[in-house]
Each structure stands twice: as C-alpha cells, then as structure tokens.
Amino acid sequence: MRQNKIPQATAKRLPLYYRYLNNLNRQGKKRVSSKELSEAIKVDSATIRRDFSYFGALGKKGYGYNVEYLLGFFRSTLDQHETTEVALIGVGNLGTAFLNYNFTKNNNIQIKMAFDSDEEKIGQIVGGVPVYGIDEMMERIEGISVAILTVPVSEADVITEKLVKAGIEGILNFTPVRITVPEDVRVHHIDLAVELQALVYFLKHYPLQSK
C-alpha cells in the first residue's frame, strides 16, 4: 500500500490517465500507444512511458498498451475498487458545482454529505447530497477522511480547526486562506484568483509560438 517510489509529478498525472483510459474503453478501443495518449492529453509520450514504467512493464513493444488491462491496473492502483467518501463544507456556488458533479461516474469518489450555516440550505438535497447544519458536523463527519472546503474566507480557519478535531486527513481547500493544520493532515490548495492571475502573467511575460 505504501510503495512510496512514484514521483509526485507522476502521481498527479495518474487520474488524468485513468479518466482517458476510461473514455477509450467506453468507446470500445482495444489498444493505445503512448503517442496517441500523448496527443490526447497533451503530455509528452516519453513522459507517459516513463510514468507507466514505474508500475512495471505494462505495454508490449510494437503494439502499445491494452486499454482494458491498463485500465484495470490503474483502477486498483488508484483504489477505485473501494469508494472514497467525502464531505463538502460550504454550499455556495462553488460548493453546489461540486455537488452536481458526478464524481462516481469516472472515479469512485462520493460526496456523502454537505454542511452549511444557512438555514435556507439546511435540510435540502443538492445534487443528491444532503445538506446539514455546520453544528452537526462534528458528529456526522465521523468516518470520513476527506473534506472539500468551499466556505467564505472568514470561516476558513474556524472550520479547518473543527475538521482537524473531527479527524479529517485531507482537505481540498478552495479558499485563498493558507490554512494551518497539523503536519499529518494533507492540504491541497486550489486558489482560483491565483490561477487566473498567473495565466494573465504568463500571457504577458512568456510568449508562446517562438518557444
């Protein structure tokens, strides 16, 4: 379970590979080469082969990769056989977008419950997920190890503290706040304003074409 040898950069690409293989499989494709994959997902073909090779020799020379086999392999590598249950905190626009996203289609990830402090929202079912009051969070969240944080900035720190107390292990943080957690809690940040500004910066300072 903890064969910690795969580079982080590779690990980040695995879900991407997995989803595309799923697509191919649905389309009934039987084989695929690193070159084809490369064109579809915009990752250098040598990088793809290298990535796959960390898991052993999954392909066949002169043929490519067997889609079904590869898919099955990634399914178990990405623990897709067991469903990961997730909680979402903050049912605003962004939170609602997540609730309506069907993660279970490609990934065995399921948002099991959501929390909000707005009386209007409590008790509703959004995207098939029940919304509870924040005050119920501590009891209800037990057994869930991953949280998506889509609350306003002002709430971020307080909620994070509660999540940590409730034993959460991973947080996908969409607030601009760099939340503070014990070192055994993993936080991934997605900062929408930063991403947008970075794109603008790259546009002005890193001309493409010539490259």
Partner DNA sequence: GAAATGTCGTGATTATTTTCACATATAATT
Partner DNA sequence: AATTATATGTGAAAATAATCACGACATTTC
Instruction: Cite the annotated binding site for NAD(+) by residue number.
Output: 90-95
Taking only Cα atoms into account, the Rg of the chain, rounded to an integer number of angstroms, comes to 20
- 7 lines the binding site for a copy of itself (CB under 8 A): no
- 8 lines the binding site for DNA (CB under 7 A): yes
Q: Is the Cβ–Cβ distance between 116 and 96 less than 8 Å? A: no
Residue with tokens 């957690």: 181
- 189 lines the binding site for DNA (CB under 7 A): no
- 19 lines the binding site for a copy of itself (CB under 8 A): yes
Annotated binding site: 90-95
- 197 lines the binding site for a copy of itself (CB under 8 A): yes
In the list DNA, a copy of itself, none, the entry touching 57 (Cβ below 5 to 8 angstroms by class) is DNA
Q: Is the Cβ–Cβ distance between 12 and 41 less than 8 Å? A: no
Rule CB under 7 A: choose which of 14, 15, 64, 181 binds DNA: 64
Scan residues 52-81 and list those touching a copy of itself (CB under 8 A): 78-79
Q: Could you give the C-alpha distances from 152 to 60, 90, 91, 92, 100, in angstroms and in order?
A: 50, 8, 10, 9, 20
Find the part of the chain contacting DNA (CB under 7 A) among 50-58, 87-95, 110-118, 130-138: 50-58
User: Shortest distance, CB of residue 79 to DNA, whole angstroms?
Assistant: 21
3-state secondary structure of 171: strand
* Residue 5 or 81 with smaller CB distance to DNA: 5
List, in order, residues 6 or more apart from 21 with CB less than 8 Å away: 32, 67, 70, 71, 74
Q: Is the Cβ–Cβ distance between 71 and 30 less than 8 Å? A: no
Residue 92 half-sphere exposure, CB side, CA atoms within 13 Å? 11
User: Shortest distance, CB of residue 24 to a copy of itself, whole angstroms?
Assistant: 13
* Residue 69 or 103 with smaller CB distance to a copy of itself: 103
- 170 lines the binding site for a copy of itself (CB under 8 A): yes
